[in-house]
Chains A and B, each alone.
Chain A
Amino acid sequence: MTSLEAIGHVVHAAGDAPIVASLGHPAYDLFGAGDRPANFYTWGSMGLASSIGLGLALAQPGLRVHVLDGDGSLLMNLGSLATIGWKRPANFVLIVLDNERYATTGGQDTATAHGADLEAAARAMGFTSCVTVRSADALAESLAQTTKASAPALSERRESKGPWMIVVKVQESAPTAKPPLDCVFIKQRFMAAIGCAEPATAGERP
């Protein structure tokens, strides 16, 4: 499965729900798989996609928040897993596109090519549901679990709740398109799409 195919499944499962993408190939492939207003593309801040997603999940508990991270990016901010495990937002889905490479910067190995296990790390930090998948069917099944558990009618049954970690072992798909570069446009379109439209500044006086 390529990264682009994997993200296509995430976009399909997310419906109208927000997706926060780490910079580089995760963001490029999210744009390629389906540009939509509820996509938040980062152009910098490597490592922080899961933190941005955590803040959003805490601010909006009624939204199911998806984060597309890379293995290299998550390795840069592993402490984030501990904070997410502490706050334990039930509406948080962390999808790690693990190609075992720093693909955006030339394909150097990451530690996951040499045994680092991000699923085990998330479990150790208190994520409630953690899985590593290698096929499109297994990914679709894992994503379906997060959707079921979020449905209010099912909430009283013993469906699993987040935070979820889905590590997807992927091959590179050499992105050919890039998302909009205008950061403020990305932000304002995203906030409006998730029901938190950024108000015009009002020149507040003390």
Chain B
Amino acid sequence: MCDGLYAAGSRDVVYVPDNPLSHVLGVLEDTYRDVTTTIATREEEAFGIAAGLYLGGRRPTVMLQSSGLGNSLNALGSLLLPYQIPVLVIVSMRGDAGEWNAAQVPLGRAVAPICDALGLPVAVAETPETTAATVQLVGQTAFGTRIPGVCQLPRRVTMPPKPAA
């Protein structure tokens, strides 16, 4: 994932923490020292910060959990989309196959329909091996078309089940 966003030209990650992605900031700090990270208090705020980074000539990435997409809708609908401010959006999925918490299921199910209703293109990182390429393509498409692009990371990729003994 870090390889993919870096290859798409992103050097700024704005992030609301999520357990499956908890090691990502460490990887960025260790391996990509020219990537700056900002932890926001809320996903909508993260999109505001990302918009400001773009106005300042950067190519921002926002990472969030699927439930946080619900906190982001007005920022997407009334700032990023009408102003054509592109952001690479990486959504760590909850509520899909492998979920244990019922409170995560409704928003998880709603991610794709919400993106469709807003007109946000969505791609799914199907396997760990293809994640970097998918993230890179979503980012390049977003920055090339000035439409925020969403890459979903399913739970089966971020938290694969342990093989049966």
Contact = CB atoms under 8 A, between A and B. Distances in A.
A20 to B, nearest CB: 8
A140 interface: no
Interface stretch (A29-37, A103-111, A163-171, A184-192): A184-192
A79 B48 contact: no
25 contacts: A20-B52, A43-B78, A43-B82, A44-B79, A45-B74, A48-B45, A51-B45, A51-B47, A52-B51, A53-B52, A54-B48, A55-B50, A56-B55, A57-B52, A58-B49, A59-B55, A59-B56, A79-B42, A86-B39, A87-B38, A183-B83, A187-B85, A191-B55, A194-B55, A202-B144
B61 to A, nearest CB: 12
A83 B52 contact: no
A48 B38 contact: no
B84 interface: yes
B45 A79 contact: yes
Contacts of A60: 56-57
Q: How large is the interface on A (under 10, 10 to 19, 20 to 34, 35 or more residues)?
A: 35 or more
A59 B12 contact: yes
A80 B55 contact: no
Contacts of B45: 48, 51, 77, 79-80, 83
A52 B53 CA distance: 8
A52 B82 contact: no
B140 A206 contact: yes
At the interface, is chain B mostly helix, strand, loop or mixed? helix
B109 interface: no
A87 B48 CA distance: 15
Which of B54, B60, B140 has the most chain A CB atoms inside 10 A of its CB? B54
A48 B40 CA distance: 12
A55 B79 contact: no
B137 interface: yes
Which of B57, B77, B83, B133 has the most chain A CB atoms inside 10 A of its CB? B83
Contacts of A136: none
A187 B83 contact: yes
Interface of A: 20, 40, 42-60, 63, 77, 79-80, 82-83, 86-87, 183-184, 186-187, 190-191, 194, 196, 201-206
A206 B135 CA distance: 11
A54 B49 CA distance: 6
Which of B49, B53, B54, B82 has the most chain A CB atoms inside 10 A of its CB? B49
B77 A44 contact: yes
B143 interface: yes
A122 to B, nearest CB: 15
Interface in B22-67: 36, 38-42, 44-45, 47-58, 60
Nearest to A82: B41
A187 B79 CA distance: 11
Given A58-B36, A59-B56, A48 B48 contact: yes
A52 B54 CA distance: 9
A69 B84 CA distance: 22
A202 B145 CA distance: 9
Contacts of B41: 79-80, 82-83
B152 to A, nearest CB: 19
B136 interface: yes
A196 B44 contact: no
A56 B145 CA distance: 21
Nearest to A190: B55
Given A79-B45, A204-B140, A55 B52 contact: yes
